[in-house]
Structure 1
Amino acid sequence: MKLVLAAMTIIVAIPVALAAFLIHLASGVTGTTGSHPGAEALADIPSDYLSIYRTAAATCSGLDWTVLAAVGKVESNHGRSTLPGVRSGSNSAGAQGPMQFLPATFAAYRNPIPPGGIDPPSPYHPVNAIHAAARMLCHNGAKDNRDIRAALFSYNHSTAYVDQVLAIARDYNRAPTTGPAAQRAIEFAMQQIGHRYVWGGDGAHEGGFDCSGLTKAAYAAAGITLPRTAHTQYTAGPRLAPGAPLLPGDLVFFGNPHTKIHHVVLYIGDGKVVHAPTFGQRVQVAQLASLGPHAGATRPAQGRGESSAASAG
């Protein structure tokens, strides 16, 4: 069932969530049990998949969503692999879909159909596939955390595979490097991926976001009020010292601070940001370095009982 990660094509922009996923997205990333996603998980896992992993893992007592997500990472890079068998057909071993099920195995674990899944169940549909994977792991040792290694070995009979999945799960399970307000702002922004850029837009009810509309709405979800434009958000601070390392949740600004700041992005860690770029594009994740030199950064959550100590993002 294992696909070779080195052959995967990793894309920065996360796909627009399919309509079938809306029930998961509506519940929000924080509405399920398990460990809280840290910056690495938020930066690496598409928001629709993250929601499904957490919802599916919650159906099995003792199964942390990070293990389920790590399986999805190894099998198909969370559905982003372009190798045969992920989106259609089968690979050379006969495995299918983002969780790389053999047809007979998927048939054994595909029911009941979860909310957001399709009928008949399909191994290519993320909701059906991820819930089936959770049932398989639960049946083979993950329930009540009895023997997670045995559960993973049943999924792929390789100790190297088990070790790889558990290592990725540990990375996803790292405690957030920032406080709850910044973390909530990141989660909100990641849930908006795929919405259109709309100049002056403040949310889906207006058809989408512009750059500062997204950051304002993200921090509003965390209980912090920001000014409306990129320039006024920059002047609102609190500003970081030039060259200070960024923390997830920091706002990074572009333009001339003396005349006009014209763009703002939300730093999510690992050198990545989420932002609403410009006309004709959608809310997406990007490498901060790809956006060119920035004018400065602020830490809106500072002063709300959250750490002001910077660390490498």
Structure 2
Amino acid sequence: MTDDMTPEQISRRTTAAFDAAVGAGRDLGLDVADAKVLYELFSVVVHLAPSPVVARIPVVLPGSTDLDSLARRQQEELDVTRWLADQGVPVTVPSPLVPREPVRRDGFSMTFWAFVEEDRTAETDYVANAATVPDLHAALRSYPGRIPFLSSAEPWFVTEGLERLGERPDLIGPQDLDRARREWRILEPLVSSREAFEKRFPGIDVQTVHGDCPAANIMPTVDGALYADFEMVTSGPVEWDMASLGPEFREAYDRGARSNGMRPLDEDVMRFVDAVGALRTIAFLSLTPHLPDLAGYLLPMVEQWRRTPFAAGLEG
């Protein structure tokens, strides 16, 4: 069994990421005299103050993710957000003060973003946010870049995570793990192949989507709300962006879709993306050694998964 990182080890990891961001920013000609950490979880986010630049440094990654594959995903995010901004979509943007590309330093790969002041008085209404997601999807339909199909599902990571969890019966018991692996054998082909997905769900269009619950990734700023955190940008059905959200959110999405000519959510595809999302949640338990608090967030979702039909009824 792999030992979980201690608070001291996590602190050293954060410090290393901070130092790498400060050093990279200085090398790029930025004034970083008052740099500070804004946030840390899967990534460490550093405001390179007094420069209006924020560095985001991923620090908790699947074991098989290398810097090359991470940099490719980061470049996709930089390209998509810059393109959206050029179309007039309200979105957080790459910093114009540095080259628009990932920077590697001290074993990290990081991206740099324009600093925006968050409106801390704003009350977040996630259901209202869900009603605006079709607007984002409408804009992304014409994105000219090529994004891999359901790359944010990370099927290789789910396979890897379910394998590693065999060594962590404290996180998931053998009966649950056996069910998860059997479900994944059914779902993985539909995640890994656009052709297989389109055969199983004929008539469902595939396009560029946010990839990571955009309704929860709208940042309130003093200049208005901005779509943010496109680091999981992918191509797939629009349902992917609404996975694991309840009926109220889906009804809000459909209202927004009707208002701008987008199609409503498809129930069969929703069951599919919900099932894949549940298995991704279980696979994320394998990252607990790197982020011990993670289990507390994920285990209630595993309990909910136990009450769902096997593979969301898609085994037929």
Kindly indicate whether structure 1 or structure 2 has the higher relative contact order, using CA contacts under 8 Å at least 6 residues apart.
2
The TM tier, using the shorter chain, reads: under 0.3
TM-score (norm 1): 0.25
TM-score (norm 2): 0.25
